């Protein structure tokens, strides 16, 4: 145990002690005289000395109180410290939460375990009263422990640290660490030396090492013909200098669907196509190899997609310009079926007609805008240049290179143009339709648009946007770093109507209530696995509204050959922050004692005789 004064100049306040003694030594005191009346006391009866002289020091309550008061004030001004009880170090630790931290050489602790061991050593070396703050890296950094909690509490929180995030930027977590306490020690625990500059006051400790790894780098479950088998497309990647032969297993519940050995070349990949019976519902795919260092990327769970057929009503007359091109295009698309107007998701009709008032029905008006012969003769054939609103998803990958836009007329309706030539809108959205309505200002009999690659792209984009706007999940299998968007389901998977006011995302015991609304957007999911959407049904209770799977697909994170162990030290004296909570309480008690002594001194003087 060591003690010192943080402000030694404060000890000059102790000079008040000899000053008080000097005052009491040379303070002249007159003897007490009792007289019968004030008229007997006169100036002639007073005797005065030529000057003051030193007298015997009186040991009185006033003297003792004033000396004690001066002593406490002087010590408080000097800020006394005791190292074992009143000081400590605050360390802010950023933990690399990328999936590679869960890897490790076969038969050895993982890099996560090595990082925890490093933290335990830091805790043993820290003095009493030291504090720690733990931050998990990620696109949205989060506090695992803290801010500024005792080391025992911080170490206990490490059981919740299960790193499995895809590759991400560490700088948001570093910025948060600096903002929490600018004077604290900063430490970043990772499995490789960062490729970007770290804060000057941050120490970096890398605990990784190069290891071999196998990964399922891609997986897709494609539906076959209605009622038939589907197909599973896989890609197995090797991050090893030698060829590997892992065992691949595919199971559905307790039923094993496939077991085979796959040969993967050194630092290469092997594609696979596997038939799956329809109605399987869910499959688990696993790779088993002794040299696999990261199990997370060697297994995936896939949900069988559900068909979302799109009903299209084509109202173009038999002799209408471009009707054949539209029919040929629709017949070649999957999950598109003809239907009546009252059941259609999309209506394709002449542009001269009126869109339906139903907001749930989309409408595409195909030109000519005016069918009269005079109006068609006055229409214009354009060679460009065309102005495209490329930010709109309807025009994704549409370029119109070499397209002759024939039969363009001046539309009689208000449009928000997506494609235009000068001031003439060629494709736009009707502004006052009451729903979603598009107008294609073209005469396909005078244009080569249907012969260009842009024609199938444009119609495919329109059908995709319409299908995405249908209630329920758009897809059923996602990457962990994907944003998930869908429209609020209107019914459960067994057909019961939902009230649309409550929807929860459930994974095991974890439940997250989603904000009600027509469209829902989920941020990227942090954990791999199967998630269930549960909604409240109108007749009471809850029901499953959908199921989705999130899997880890990240080639950069699966490549563990570049990991290393290294460190970037910093000046420890520049990053130490003393924790003065004990002194704070001592200062409060000292000030309270000063006030008490000052009041006591005043009370004694008041009671003493004049």
Give the pLDDT confidence of 97-144 residue by residue, as tens digits: 999 999 998 888 999 999 999 999 999 988 777 899 999 999 889 999
Question: For 270-321, how does the pLDDT look when each residue is reduced to its tens digit (9 = 90+)?
Answer: 999 999 998 899 999 999 988 789 999 999 999 999 888 999 999 999 999 9
Q: Name residues whose C-beta falls within 8 Å of residue 134's C-beta, 6 or more positions apart in sequence.
A: 93, 95, 143, 144, 145, 146, 154, 157, 158, 161
pLDDT at position 583 over 60: no
Average pLDDT of 379-399? 93
Contact by Cβ (8 Å): 274, 302? no
Average pLDDT of 462-468? 94
Kindly state the tokens that stand for 391.
């930010």
Question: For 210-226, how does the pLDDT look when each residue is reduced to its tens digit (9 = 90+)?
Answer: 999 999 999 999 987 76
56 DSSP 8-state letter: P
Match domain 477-551 to its CATH number in 3.10.20.30, 3.40.50.150, 2.60.40.1930, 3.40.190.10. 2.60.40.1930
The whole-number pLDDT of residue 95 equals 97
Average pLDDT of 517-525? 87
Average pLDDT of 146-167? 93
Of 104-113, 155-164, 257-266, 580-589, the poorest mean pLDDT is in 580-589
- Cα gap 569→92, rounded to integer Å: 15
The whole-number pLDDT of residue 481 equals 84
What percent of the chain shows pLDDT beyond 90? 55
CATH class of 88-211+560-579: alpha beta
Identify the residue with better confidence: 31 or 314.
Answer: 314
Average pLDDT of 455-480? 94
The whole-number pLDDT of residue 226 equals 63
- Cα gap 66→71, rounded to integer Å: 9
Taking all residues of the chain, what is their mean pLDDT, rounded to a whole number?
Answer: 86
Before 385, cis peptide (omega within 30)?
yes
pLDDT at position 459 over 70: yes
Cβ neighbour number for residue 351 with a 10 Å cutoff: 20
Confidence category of residue 578, pLDDT binned at 50, 70, 90: very low
pLDDT at position 474 over 60: yes
Of 44-48, 245-249, 298-302, the poorest mean pLDDT is in 44-48
Q: Where are the domains of the chain?
A: 3-85+583-607, 88-211+560-579, 213-307, 310-468, 477-551
Q: Which fold is adopted by the domain 213-307?
A: Immunoglobulin-like (2.60.40)
Contact by Cβ (8 Å): 99, 117? no
- Cα gap 590→118, rounded to integer Å: 40
Confidence category of residue 607, pLDDT binned at 50, 70, 90: low
Average pLDDT of 479-499? 90
Q: Name residues whose C-beta falls within 8 Å of residue 88's C-beta, 6 or more positions apart in sequence.
A: 126, 127, 128, 129, 130, 131, 578, 579
**286 Rama sector, left if φ>0, alpha if ψ -120 to 50, beta otherwise:** beta
What SS3 state is found at 506?
A: strand
Average pLDDT of 33-43? 62
Identify the residue with better confidence: 264 or 587.
Answer: 264
The whole-number pLDDT of residue 22 equals 75
CA dihedral in degrees (592, 597, 598, 603; nearest 10)?
Answer: 130
Of 2-16, 34-48, 57-71, the poorest mean pLDDT is in 34-48
pLDDT at position 48 over 60: no
Is it true that 88-211+560-579 and 213-307 share their CATH fold? Answer: no
CATH class of 310-468: alpha beta
Confidence category of residue 59, pLDDT binned at 50, 70, 90: confident
């Amino acid at each position: 145990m060591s003690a010192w004064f943080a402000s030694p100049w404060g000890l000059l306040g102790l000079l008040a002690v000899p000053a008080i003694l000097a005052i009491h030594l040379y303070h002249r005191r007159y003897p007490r005289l009792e007289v019968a009346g004030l008229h007997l006391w006169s100036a002639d009866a007073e005797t005065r000395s030529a000057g003051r002289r030193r007298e015997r020091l009186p040991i009185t309550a006033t003297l003792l109180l004033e000396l004690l008061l001066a002593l406490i004030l002087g010590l408080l001004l000097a800020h006394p410290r005791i190292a074992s009880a009143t000081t400590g170090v605050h360390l802010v630790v950023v933990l690399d939460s990328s999936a590679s931290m869960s890897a490790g050489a076969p038969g050895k602790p993982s890099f996560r375990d090595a990082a925890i061991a490093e933290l335990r050593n830091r805790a043993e070396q820290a003095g009493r009263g030291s504090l720690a703050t733990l931050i998990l890296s990620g696109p949205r950094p989060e506090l695992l422990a803290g801010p500024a909690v005792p080391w025992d509490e911080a170490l206990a929180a490490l059981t919740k640290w299960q790193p499995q995030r895809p590759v991400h930027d560490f700088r948001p977590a570093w910025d948060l660490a600096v903002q929490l306490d600018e004077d604290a020690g900063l430490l970043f625990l990772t499995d490789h030396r960062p490729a970007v500059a770290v804060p000057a006051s941050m120490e970096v400790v890398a605990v990784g090492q190069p290891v071999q790894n196998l990964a399922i780098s891609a997986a897709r479950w494609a539906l076959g013909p209605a009622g038939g088998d589907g197909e599973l497309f896989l890609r197995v990647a090797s991050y090893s200098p030698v060829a590997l032969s892992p065992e691949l297993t595919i199971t559905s519940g307790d039923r094993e669907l496939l077991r085979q050995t796959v040969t993967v070349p050194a630092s290469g990949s092997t594609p696979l196509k596997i038939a799956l019976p329809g109605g399987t519902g869910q499959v688990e795919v696993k790779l088993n190899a002794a040299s696999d260092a990261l199990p997370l990327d060697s297994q995936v769970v896939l949900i069988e997609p559900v068909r979302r057929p799109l009903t299209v009503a084509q109202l173009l007359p038999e002799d209408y310009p471009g009707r054949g091109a539209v029919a040929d295009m629709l017949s070649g698309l999957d999950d598109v079926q003809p239907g009546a107007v009252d059941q259609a998701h999309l209506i394709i009709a002449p542009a001269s007609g009126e869109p339906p008032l139903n907001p749930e029905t989309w409408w595409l008006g195909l030109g000519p805008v005016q069918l009269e012969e005079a109006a068609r003769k006055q229409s214009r054939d354009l060679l460009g240049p065309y102005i495209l609103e490329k930010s709109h998803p309807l025009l994704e990958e549409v370029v119109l290179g070499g397209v002759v836009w024939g039969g363009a007329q001046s539309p009689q309706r208000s449009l928000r143009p997506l494609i235009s030539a000068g001031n003439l809108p060629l494709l736009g959205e009707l502004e006052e339709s009451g729903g979603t309505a598009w107008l294609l200002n073209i005469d396909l009999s005078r244009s080569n648009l249907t012969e260009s690659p842009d024609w199938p792209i444009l119609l495919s984009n329109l059908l995709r946007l319409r299908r995405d706007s249908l209630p329920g999940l758009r897809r059923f299998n996602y990457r962990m770093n994907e944003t998930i968007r869908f429209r609020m389901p209107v019914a459960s998977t067994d057909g019961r109507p939902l009230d649309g006011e409550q929807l929860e995302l459930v994974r095991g015991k974890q439940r997250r209530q989603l904000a009600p609304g027509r469209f829902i957007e989920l941020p990227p999911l942090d954990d791999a696995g199967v998630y269930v959407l549960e909604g409240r049904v109108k007749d009471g209770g809850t029901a499953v509204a959908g199921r989705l799977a999130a899997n880890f697909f990240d080639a950069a994170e699966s490549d563990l050959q570049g990991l290393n162990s290294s460190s970037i030290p910093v000046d420890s004296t520049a990053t130490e922050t003393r924790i003065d909570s004990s002194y704070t309480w001592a200062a409060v008690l000292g000030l309270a004692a000063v006030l008490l002594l000052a009041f006591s001194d005043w009370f004694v003087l008041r009671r003493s005789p004049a």
